[in-house]
Chains A and B, each alone.
Chain A
Amino acid sequence: MNYLENRKYVIQAIFLVVGIVFACRLFYIQVIDSSYKQAAETNAIKTIIQYPFRGLIYDRNGKLLVQNTPVYDLMVVPKEARNIDTLKLCKLVGLPLEDVRERLKKARTYSYVKPSIFYQKLSTQEFAHIQDNLIDFPGFYINARTARGYPHQSLAHALGYIAEISPKQLEDSTYSGYRSGDYIGKSGIELEYEKYLMGKRGVKYKMVNVRGIEKGAFKEGAYDTLSVAGQNLVSTIDLDLQAYGEYLMNGAKGSVVAIEPETGEVLAYISSPFYDPNLFTGKEYGKNYMELLNEPNKTMFNRPIMASSNPPGSIFKLAQALIALQDGIITPNTGYPCNQSLIKCSHAHAAPTNLSIAIQTSCNPYFYQVFRAMLNRGKSKNTFKDTALGLTDWRDQVTSFGFGTKLGIDLPNEKQGIIASTAMYDRIYGPNRWKFSTIYSLSIGQGELGVTPLQMANFMATIANRGYYITPHIIRSIGEHGEPLPEYQERHYTTVASKHFEPVVDGMAAVVASGTGRNANLSKLGIEVCGKTGTAENPQGKDHAVFVAFAPKVNPKIAIAVYVENAGFGAQSAAPIAGLMIEKYLTDSVSRKPMEKWVLSREYLNID
């Protein structure tokens, strides 16, 4: 039987093998594999995000443009709401019985023990009424949160909107601080200044049991952080002017951009048709967005910075004049005949015996001849090469006005526009296959030119400043008493010396005083407005009306560009709108009521 005694070793070996296997297995799941630790955290530690208040946005006079409005949601925890009087609940919330049952069922499907929204966005009256009666409905409670609110319905395109972060953004490491369900700026100022507006989220770690019930702070709150409210922004927008401009543009398509020349501050930013920004804050956000997106008038199209393919028309003659003066091609007293055999002139007018008259009368042959002299200076005997050299030089000067480049406004999706270049024509026609006669329409602002309304307004600000502009911007400072933003202090000088501006300004004053811009004349109020009308040719339909202006002539306070689509001559629609807005801004009132009435009648849209 002795051999049996050795079996004790076998048995002890079995014991030990099991013990060692267990210890190894434990070493693997406890020390090597870290996935269980993460699983334990997601299990028992609930992270409660404390959302900071998003920064507010004020206009230049301290009027609130964007605020946070409290929103009340009626919540339900199905488990606790088992024995409620459904009929009574119907009466309380004013919903039919089937709807209430459907909502309760939806909540139960989501989770029996976790709260879900029963009824979103109660009105203040509903909130008060329901709050008083909730005592009869265990399992129901009201959850207060904040949503964006707009006390005025203005400036939707510039303000932009916020919405839940998209799954695509969540994958992007730029947004690593965000979680699913967070709100984020999607366009406009809300997007551009997201990092200031969003503030800093606070986090609280709570221990929860298997049913999700809180069981106290994790590690006595050692890892908790407080939320920090977002920073408020002060906009450069003058809400009164903005609202008045929207009032005038309502029903028309187009843009108005007004800039304070001295500072580059955008005073008004209108993209018409516009919409009520409150449409994007409620539960109907998705539906409203899609409706606006698919609307034939392209409401969502942010015209002032995105409508970049339209030629500037006659207002471009001002740039031609300035560059010609700088290059010594003309002097203020240079005259050219109004030779209609070269290019047609829109109307009969006095002979352009000097530059001022040429601007006042917007004489096409005059600027045709100026442009020809600029391009063909005999630098090369080959007329093709000569034109190419002239165009390159000309283009450098045009772009110094901010044309053909992104100005750098603090709004997303700005377009740069188009300014004709030798490369472009070489591509179209082939090198040495084009000359002045091919591209002469540039001389009067038609052809291969695309200018955004913002660039037009900036052009006016440049002339108002006699030679420089400051990057237009829509936010003046971060914080209500913050310093002006440093990136908007620098003066961008054009290639044209300051002294050459005066004759052009005189011509612009004459345009308004006795030329095509008479509808913007404010001389009765003692305000000398300098402006220029334009008509942008539109191959798709009726031409677009353009009027650019600044005022007063001396020490200008406002530069403005008005662009009305399919409204024909700038004189009829765009000039009155500009005049009314200049008066509104400078005098804070409108005296020319018949003019206002004319604009609001929209009759200009029917004039051929």
Chain B
Amino acid sequence: MAVEQTIPKYKVATRSSRRNSNKVLQNLDWVTILLYFTLVALGWMNIYAAVYSPDNVVNIFSFDINSGKQLVWISASVVLIIILLVVDYKVYEHLAYPIYGGVILLLLVTLVIAKPIAGSRSWLDLGGGIRLQPAELAKFATALAVSKFLSNVNLRQQNLKDQMVLAAITLLPPAIIILQNETGSALVFAAFVLAFFREGMSPLILIIGGTAAAIFILTLLVPKLYLIIAITALMGAAVWLDYRLMRRIKTMVALLLLVIAMIFSVDYFVNDILQPHQQNRIKALINPEADPLGFGWNVTQSKIAIGSGGLLGKGFLDGTQTKFDFVPEQSTDFIFCTIGEEHGWIGSTVLIALFMLLLIRIVSIAERQKSVFGRTYGYCVASIIFFHFLINVGMTIGLAPVVGIPLPFFSYGGSSLWSFTILLYILLAIDANRSLDLSR
């Protein structure tokens, strides 16, 4: 046993470990990889469609346009994938905290030295026209740290101190990112709630969070008085149906008062805490027609582009709304419009189905991990991708506020593609070696 302990903790796959790497290849989850490359390839084609201009046709491979550049990022991702799979999978667990610490440092450095781009101090200029957004790296780093923390055998979930530490690990990166003025990216960290829920967090938090969000949106949509009457009636009905609740009448009343207080604080929150552009995004979600040329523009135009696609779409490169610049940020945040317009409901639904398949596959990968670390990390990956999907697609069809976050694997952009590639392939690397975990 002593000999075994001297085995270096981190080993790079070498010729001597070919047997292992063969096994890694065998155990690789090729379904996920296929889904990954399908999404990346479709994304690449749609990026071309988004920047395509019929009166000035440029080859899809041209580096002058986003599709050509994206091909570079995709190629680099393949290299990244090989590295991620070749590196000893244990690195990710053992170096989880150092990686996390490094990214936090990078975020802080970026905050200090970054030049503001469109009001956001989140881009690090690496020279040669290449820029990196460390906020993207924070996602997988935080996922690693959270998984590492939760896999600690000494962890006790009921322990307030442990809970505080977990909260700190999760909230520190978004806090810095908010300071960088990238609120959208910061919101993504809310996704970890799903992973926590799987690892034992009380479902009450999910329910309370969901209810709070629902009340928030309802307050904006429905007159306050009606809402309060409805909620009171609902609670009254619950008590009437289940008399045992009478014993908790005080709790119920307190809850009701809390809800009413929340309803009245929504206005204050929207009008006094949110910044004007954030207020507009809320307004655009509720009623984009109120100012279709102003704050409602993005949502209105995005819905027009998607809605005009019909059942089968206008055909590849035949869209009019996503060409001609009616939809802003077509190749990045609003890439979904291109699918909607050119490939119609069938195309959109196929894309949604692809994401559903990927998410469910990731959940099943997570579930088959023997280690808490692997499983938690798997759920973190699924949650982050899901959150991006939820907000990104939701905002283009008017179901979510406009938050500038990309569609995973699909949107144009190196930082985004790489960060999702890293996020996903660390999981696949861990998963490929899951049988080795048994021997540990």
Contacts and interface: CB of A to CB of B under 8 A. Distances in A.
B307 A35 contact: yes
B394 interface: yes
Given A8-B198, A11-B382, A30 B309 contact: yes
B345 A15 contact: no
A210 B305 CA distance: 13
A216 B389 CA distance: 35
B326 A210 contact: yes
A34 to B, nearest CB: 8
Contact of B304 (A4, A43, A207, A215): A43
A135 interface: no
B311 interface: yes
Interface in B10-65: 53-55
Interface stretch (A21-29, A268-276, A444-452): A21-29
B349 A15 contact: no
Given A39-B304, A43-B304, A215-B55, A207 B352 contact: no
B306 A29 contact: yes
A14 interface: yes
Interface string A16-47: 10110111011101110101110111011100
A41 B304 CA distance: 10
Given A8-B363, A31-B311, A26 B348 contact: yes
Contacts of B255: none
A26 B340 contact: yes
B344 interface: yes
Interface in A572-604: none
Contact of B307 (A16, A37, A45, A210): A37
Contact of A40 (B197, B321, B353, B356): B321
Contacts of B345: 23, 26-27, 30-31
A487 interface: no
B417 interface: no
A174 interface: no
A192 B269 CA distance: 66
Contacts of A14: 194, 386
Q: Which of B310, B345, B353 has the most CB of A within 10 A?
A: B345
Nearest to B197: A7
A211 interface: yes
Nearest to B297: A210
A22 B393 contact: yes
A494 B326 CA distance: 72
Interface in B77-122: none
Contacts of B367: 5, 8
A28 to B, nearest CB: 9
A15 B320 contact: no
Interface in B394-414: 394, 397, 399
A276 to B, nearest CB: 45
Contacts of B379: 11
A40 B198 contact: no
A211 B390 CA distance: 31
A16 B356 contact: yes
A586 B342 CA distance: 75
A209 interface: yes
B310 A31 contact: yes
Contacts of B389: 18
A33 B309 CA distance: 11
A209 B324 contact: yes
Q: Which of A10, A11, A25, A207 has the most CB of B within 10 A?
A: A11
Interface in B328-360: 340-341, 344-345, 348-349, 352-353, 355-356, 359-360
A11 B307 contact: no
A432 B379 CA distance: 108
Contacts of B200: 1, 4
A43 B320 CA distance: 9
A215 to B, nearest CB: 5
Contacts of B320: 40, 43-45, 207
A211 B394 CA distance: 27
Contacts of A10: 197, 203
Contacts of A40: 304-305, 307-308, 320-321, 341
A395 to B, nearest CB: 66
Nearest to A30: B345
A-B pairs, 7 with minimum CB distance:
A36-B307, A40-B308, A209-B324, A44-B320, A29-B307, A210-B325, A30-B345
8 contacts: A7-B197, A19-B352, A22-B397, A23-B348, A40-B307, A43-B304, A43-B320, A215-B54
Given A16-B356, A30-B310, 12 more contacts: A7-B197, A15-B356, A15-B360, A21-B399, A22-B393, A22-B399, A26-B352, A26-B397, A27-B345, A36-B306, A210-B324, A216-B55
